[in-house]
Amino acid sequence: KVMDILAPTNDPKKLRERFVEYGKTRDVIAKGNTKTSITLESGINVDLRVVKDEEYPYALHHFTGSKEHNTAMRNRAKRMGIKMNEYGLFKGDTLIECHDEEEIFRKLNLSYIPPEIRENMGEIEAAEKREIPVLIEEKDIKGIFHVHTNYSDGANTLTEMVNGARELGYKYIGITDHSKSARYANGLKEEDILRQFDEIDRLNEKYTDIKILKGIESDILKDGSLDYEEDLLKQFDFVIALVHSNFKMSKEEMTERIIKAVKNKYTTILGHLTGRLLLSRDGYDLDVYKVIDACAEYDKIIEINSNPHRLDIDWRYIKYAKEKGVELAICPDAHRVEGLQDVKYGVGIARKGWLEAKDVINTYNIDQMYEIFKRK
């Protein structure tokens, strides 16, 4: 685990000394003129890279691009008779002065490429054609789904979660506690759901600045069915279907299982599609592309789970989902009020997948949301 910090300065010695004096430093690994490395008490290594003020735009571009992106950019510059590296653009030995990253791209006859998509996955060709999308921003999000309360395994009450969303300026919130199969998470029995429905109705009468939607996080059983009967499923405003058990199925079986759930007319959103937990559990064996194709065919929404332990689906699949016309929802999977703010991580992943605001359903207003859910 390494964190890189890039800093422009004309006094590197002073900055370097302040850096190694940071109070939570465990070890100083190396001290050099351009790079100093420390290990924090948390075990994370941090590299401070120092450049001159005039070198900063070039270094910023270099360190925010993948190796593949940087190689492609250097090759493009070379074809134009320009040398490009982390210290500048050069015509012969003469520096081509650029004051910011935008100028670097202009010198190479490209529109600006946001850092998140600097992967050499079509962004340079799109920039050449002036077709870089306007990527989604956190301010575009009007409401959220996938929110837990203490009806199941959440830490806060329904009212507290709603008020947390109101404080963040959201116009709607979709409550999705665990379903009855998730006994480990105090999953809701039928009578619990009806009791929650009554509380949601009361809160919707009380508040005029936010709409509370009745949802559920319904487990996909081993045979691909959902774990409530049809008479109950049809009462929800929306249903997030996802896998919480039987992870060790074959690739073919798991793919078939999830696609069966996608075909279910009560499934609205497919949640944390691969089941991965970052740094602790790989996703289950699954043909993700085939599942995305099924979501496109049956008009289902795919969740971008914003919980920093998940960030599921991976950004590499998001671009494919967009190309297939699948709508996505950025969801915090919040189990406490503070977790509502995890939406920002999902927005970052959505940007890396080339998503615009129009590609994400929770950028729409509540009336548009109801129309979307009605046709799912």
Q: How many residues does the chain have?
A: 376
Residue 123 has pLDDT above 90, yes or no: yes
Tell whether 84 and 171 lie within a shared domain.
Answer: no
What pLDDT digit, counting tens, does each position of 225-270 carry?
A: 999 999 999 999 999 999 999 999 999 999 999 999 999 999 999 9
Check whether residue 99 and residue 207 sit in a common domain.
no
Residue 184 confidence class, pLDDT cut points 50, 70, 90: confident
Helix, strand, coil in percent for the chain, rounding step 5: 40, 25, 35
State yes or no: pLDDT of 344 exceeds 90: yes
For the range 248-256, what are the long-range contacts, defined as Cβ-Cβ under 8 Å and sequence gap of 24 or more? 248/284, 249/222, 249/284, 249/285, 250/285, 251/285, 251/286, 251/287, 252/287, 254/284, 254/285, 254/286, 255/286, 255/287, 255/290, 255/291, 256/224
Give the domain extent around 97. Answer: 2-128
- Does 133 reside within a domain? no
Both 178 and 73 in a single domain? Answer: no
Residue 202 included in any domain: yes
Tens of pLDDT, residue by residue over 76-115, are: 999 999 999 999 999 999 999 999 999 999 999 999 999 9
pTM given for the model = 0.93
Number of domains in the chain: 2
Residue where one domain finishes, among candidates 128, 159, 190? 128
Q: What is the pLDDT of residue 204?
A: 99
